[in-house]
Amino acid sequence: MTIQIQNLSKIYTSHVKEPGFLGSLKSLVNRKIIEKKAVNDVSFEIGEGEFVGLIGENGAGKTTLIKMLSGIIFPTSGDAKVLGFRPWERKNEYKKNFSVIMGQKNQLWWDLPAHDSFLLLKDIYEIEDSDFKKRLDYLTETLGMQNNLNTQVRKLSLGERMKAEIIAALLHSPKVVYLDEPTIGLDVIAQESIRKFLKEYNEEQKTTIILTSHYMDDIEALCERVVIMDNGKKQFDGKLAGVIEKYANEKIITLNFADEIEKSSLTKFGAVVSLKQSQVEIKVNRKNSTQIAGDLLKNYEITDINIRDISVEEIVRNIFKEGN
Amino acid sequence: MSRLKVYKRCIVMKVSETFEYRTSFFLKLFLASGINFLIRYLLWKEIFTYSGVTEINGYSFNEMVLYYIFSTFIYLIVDSNRVGIEIGKGIRLGELSKFLVYPITFFEYNFFTFFGKKIIQASTSLLALAAVFFAFPQLGEQFTITISTILMLCVLVVLGIALNFLIDLFLSNFAFWIDEIWTVIVIKMFITQLLSGMILPLDFFPKYAVEIFRFLPFQYILYFPVKVWLGQVPFAEIMFGIQVCVVWVFALMLMHFLFWRKGLRLYSGIGM
């Protein structure tokens, strides 16, 4: 097993401050300490070359878990081994074999072209000249970044910057990669191209990858297996197909009618989620959503129609409700 | 050796980054220190004129001016206030995370990027100093300098850089406990300015204070090398000073690593 996590927990302590100036004064003298279980007794294993999606709402503990696996923070209790190393012991042999990409943080030097940062990483990770050239050519080509390496990072677009970050993180051929929200804030085209790249990369290089994302599309395109977390606890661990079948077998159709509409006349199509004057949201079965949409368009005068998946957030909420 | 390659690269990166903002760099470098020097110059000019004496505490007016030229110059090279603030910020805002995953220590990375900055600062300030002596040749007649003095000055300045850097590095650890360490760095700045002889030559202080200063790291950042430069320190005292510096360098490093190890346990990588 490449990654083994056993009963891992992390408790953060912080103090609460009452609002306002008086609250500040009070907290100077007497601080109330509160504890938050960010990760609560989580265990699972990941094999070599697996691409696992880690999903959950904000504050579910995904990032804390990744921070522990990267050795950035110490766990409060429990144990984990990645490639045979305990991450927070921060052994150089471990550091040379993993990488972490954070969508909201950058490791590239802001004021210098990305290529300069790559050279620094080459020296830090002690990559041979010939390997470095091969890796860099391969990565820039597959990500389509040939023309952007000599521009200062601060002048790149968000999508280009993310691609440069990905190149930086993969230069030393890590065996394990943690991706924390790699597509956050990107437009659909950039998201799509990063997704495509990651899929190919995982298949070709047999790299073990853990991905956290808010976009169900990311997870669906990339991960066969998902681990769902809620409130620091592991709620689900299994095939993604299972999750979608079990929890996301519905789609939401949003309709704008030309005239006001009665709720009762729509119930035969699916469950009406919301009805605001002429705008209606209907939850329908995933399989025949297009057919229902067709029927609706035939029978009513509709000015706008939109079909979307249930978001990860909603799925997680469903799972959490069931857990209770 | 591959380690040396990383160090060299850190230095080169910092040099290139500094050149990205050369205007701001030169403004900061020369405007701030130029004004600082001018204030002191005018102040002492008035003091000498009004008191009508030719010597105060053993300093003639010209020696006083030289003292401030040298101390301004050395301060430009050894100054490290940014280091403490930057590292403190890194800890508070979670930017430290990316260094924790590199197979190189945060300490090495910071020291050598800092060193890269110092190289440009030292060379540009040296040019400026040469320009000052070229413009006012009479200043050069105030002192003689030998090869051995230059060598000892180099040693002392490198030690001064290390001391100042390590004090800041040590203080930046407080960010693990108190988050915002700006005030800590400002207090350190005031203390260093006073005790390093930046505001006033240290021989203006009472005898017992001067004796205490010999054992503290601060005077070796500025006052001591300036006095060596002026040729006013006997050889035995220079050797003593170097020993004190070396002891402090190791003591500060030890203190830093002790606090660093404790602090890292509290680090939560906020904002990642």
A63 and chain B in contact, CB less than 8 A: yes
In the predicted structure, residue B5 carries a pLDDT above the cut 80: yes
A10-19, A180-189, A234-243: the lowest-pLDDT one: A10-19
Residue B272 lies in a domain: no
- In this complex, which of A72, A109, A125 lies closest to B103 when CB atoms are compared? A125
**Residue of A193, A190, A169 whose CA lies nearest to A179:** A169
The pLDDT of residue A312: 63
Let me know if residue B90 belongs to a domain: yes
Residues in chain B closer than 8 A to A102 (CB atoms): 97, 272
CA distance A12 to chain B (A): 8
Q: What percent of chain A has pLDDT over 90?
A: 48
Cβ contacts of A238 within 8 Å, gap of 6 or more: A225, A226
Q: b or e along B129-152 (b: 16 or more beta carbons within 10 Å of the residue's beta carbon)?
A: beeeeeeeeeeeeeeeeeeebeeb
What are the phi and psi torsion angles at B77 (to 5°)? -80, -40
In chain B, which residues have their Cβ closer than 8 Å to the Cβ of A111?
17, 20-21
Residue numbers in B near A69 (CB within 8 A):
none
**Listed residue (A47, A51, A56, A63) closest to A1, CA to CA:** A47
- Interchain proximity A123–B269, CB inside 8 Å: no
Nearest-angstrom CA–CA distance, B269 and A70: 11
Within 8 A of B260 by CB-CB distance, chain A residues are: none
- B179 is in which domain, residue-wise? 3-264
Out of B20, B101, B265, the one facing A70 most closely (by C-beta) is B101
* Domain membership flag for residue B271: no
Question: What whole-number distance in Å separates Cα of residue B201 and Cα of residue B64?
Answer: 9
Comparing alpha-carbon positions, the chain B residue that sits nearest to A102 is B272
A170 touches chain B (CB under 8 A): no
Catalogue the E-assigned strands of A103-192. 176-180
Taking 90 as the threshold, does the pLDDT of residue B272 lie above it?
Answer: no
Residue B109 belongs to a domain? yes
Contact across the interface for B98 and A119, Cβ inside 8 Å: no
ipTM value of the model?
0.78
Q: How far is B77 from chain A (nearest CA, A)?
A: 23
Can you list the domains of chain A with their CATH numbers?
3-245 (3.40.50.300), 249-323 (3.30.70)
User: Considering the entire predicted model, what is its pTM?
Assistant: 0.79
Using a CB-CB cut-off of 8 Å, the residues of chain B touching A152 are 20
| Span B184-226, pLDDT tens digits | 999 999 999 999 999 999 999 999 999 999 999 999 999 999 9
Tally of domains in chain B: 1
Q: Which of B18, B268, B103 lies closest to A38, judged by CA? A: B268
Which tens digits make up the pLDDT trace of A241-297? 777 777 777 888 888 888 877 778 888 888 888 888 778 888 888 888 888 888 888
pLDDT recorded at residue B271: 56
Of B10, B20, B103, the CB nearest to A96: B103
Supply B180's token pair: 């915002």
Residue A49, sorted as left (phi over 0), alpha (psi -120 to 50) or beta, turns out to be: left
